[in-house]
Amino acid sequence: MSWYGSHEYLNEFIQENQCRRIMEVGVYNGENAISMVKAAITSLPAAEIVYYGFDFFHSYSTEYIGRKLDETGCKHFLYEGNTLDTVPEAAKTLPTMDMIFIDGGKSFMEAWSDWEGSSKLIHSGTGVFVHNVGFSGVAKMVENIPRDIYDVELFFPRFEGKVALVRRIA
């Protein structure tokens, strides 16, 4: 199967772990969202997949992304606005996620806020992928993740730079 861009590690994780609840911070054009949902659908019925997307939705509207997600048959929720506000607020009521992809703001404040909100939605099997760890703000956020609670693995996918996989220590 051909995956969108070079985020194939997300799709592999989704398939291997039969992820039902997928969250993405930084949706952009929705292509990655569609790819991740399609990966989940390879092992689970589309109606059991729930996608949660956070973005300003300046370049592509929630209606546009929503129509694309509708075509997959998954359930989806799109949160429009600054993730400094939307992620922490939504984290108060959302269920735990099976996979989270953080690809939002690059400053430390933005990245830390995205992490803090996302960290409230982690269960023992959740994989949190942090994109763009090469940016100083994102790198500082990853460095500040408490290693007594989380395992942090850095890896270098082709054409992407540094990515972190964060998992709760059992």
Which residue in this structure is represented by tokens 């099997």? 125
Quickly list H helices, 72-123.
83-91, 108-119
Which residue in this structure is represented by tokens 């600054």? 82
Q: Model pTM?
A: 0.95
H helix count then E strand count, the chain: 6, 7
Q: What is the pLDDT along the chain (170 residues), one digit of tens a residue?
A: 443 455 899 999 999 999 999 999 999 999 999 999 999 999 999 999 999 999 999 999 999 999 999 999 999 999 999 999 999 999 999 999 999 999 999 999 999 999 999 999 999 999 999 999 999 999 999 999 999 999 999 999 888 889 999 999 97
> Distance between CA atoms of 7 and 36, rounded to whole angstroms?
9
